[in-house]
């Protein structure tokens, strides 16, 4: 799973409140060439959205904005393959590690990165990336934290994606710009354009 995620290089981040939108979303992302999404738990029915996608074996399904071990467990039971958290919550991290669930905890500072090292976490989310210094901050982290790879998220779009992916300590990027809920043709188009950008880099 980790290898697939790394090869895709981009994780669409999506908030959906309507479970009926789940399948059209996945169809659009797959049509654009990105069979992966982080479904954020920011809406009342986000867990139902994840549940709807349980059977889509070809799709890498993540749950994001997870704030507790209990939410992580519920998301995994609903069908999530991996967990993403906006900040570093040791209890959530430990639950995922003990249950062999891939987790990408959020970090913003060197102190957070020390916590990641303490828990043997090698891939973290860097959030909110652009606000926290973006590419320059990641370059600065690459010295003292050379074993850690990042998923920068927050403020990333088609115009700055390539600067992030050019960094050797960037595992993948996260972003919401390619998803336009209720305009699935446009979502497929923006996704395909993002995939083209990524392919041009390699």
Active site residues: 38, 125
Q: What are phi and psi of 24, to 5 degrees?
A: -60, -35
153, 178, 184, 194: residue in contact with ligand 3PG (rule CB under 6 A): 153
DSSP 8-state class, residue 38: E
Stretches 26-34, 46-54, 107-115, 174-182: which one binds ligand 3PG (CB under 6 A)? 174-182
Q: How far apart are CA 186 and CA 191, in angstroms?
A: 8
Does 40 contact ligand 3PG by CB under 6 A?
yes
Considering just the CA atoms, what is the radius of gyration of the chain in Å?
A: 16
**Closest by CA position to 150, among listed 6, 36, 3, 1:** 6
Residue placing its CB nearer to ligand 3PG in the complex, 69 or 151:
151
Q: Which of residues 108-147 bind ligand 3PG (CB under 6 A)?
A: 127
Answer yes or no whether residue 13 interacts with ligand 3PG by CB under 6 A: yes
Exactly one of 142, 169, 176, 193 binds ligand 3PG (CB under 6 A); that residue is 176
**What's the CA gap between 133 and 6, in Å, rounded?**
23
Instruction: Kindly list the residues in this chain that would bind ligand 3PG in the complex (CB under 6 A).
Output: 13, 40, 127, 153-156, 174-177
């Amino acid at each position: 799973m980790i290898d697939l995620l790394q090869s895709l290089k981009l994780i669409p981040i999506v908030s959906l409140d309507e479970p009926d939108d789940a399948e059209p979303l996945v169809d659009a992302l797959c049509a654009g060439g990105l069979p992966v999404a982080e479904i954020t738990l920011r809406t009342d029915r986000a867990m139902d959205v994840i549940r709807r996608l349980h059977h889509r074996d070809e799709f890498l399904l993540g749950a994001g904005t997870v704030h507790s071990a209990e939410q992580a467990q519920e998301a995994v039971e609903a069908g999530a393959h991996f967990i993403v958290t906006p900040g570093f919550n040791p209890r959530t991290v430990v639950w995922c590690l003990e249950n062999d669930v891939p987790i990408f905890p959020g970090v913003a500072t060197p102190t957070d990165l020390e916590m990641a090292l303490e828990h043997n976490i090698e891939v973290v989310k860097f959030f909110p990336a652009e606000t926290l210094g973006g590419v320059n901050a990641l370059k600065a982290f690459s010295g003292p934290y050379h074993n850690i790879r990042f998923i920068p998220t927050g403020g990333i779009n088609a115009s700055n994606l390539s600067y992030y992916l050019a960094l050797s300590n960037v595992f993948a990027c996260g972003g919401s710009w390619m998803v336009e809920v209720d305009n699935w043709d446009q979502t497929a188009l923006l996704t395909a354009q993002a995939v083209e950008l990524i392919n041009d880099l390699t």
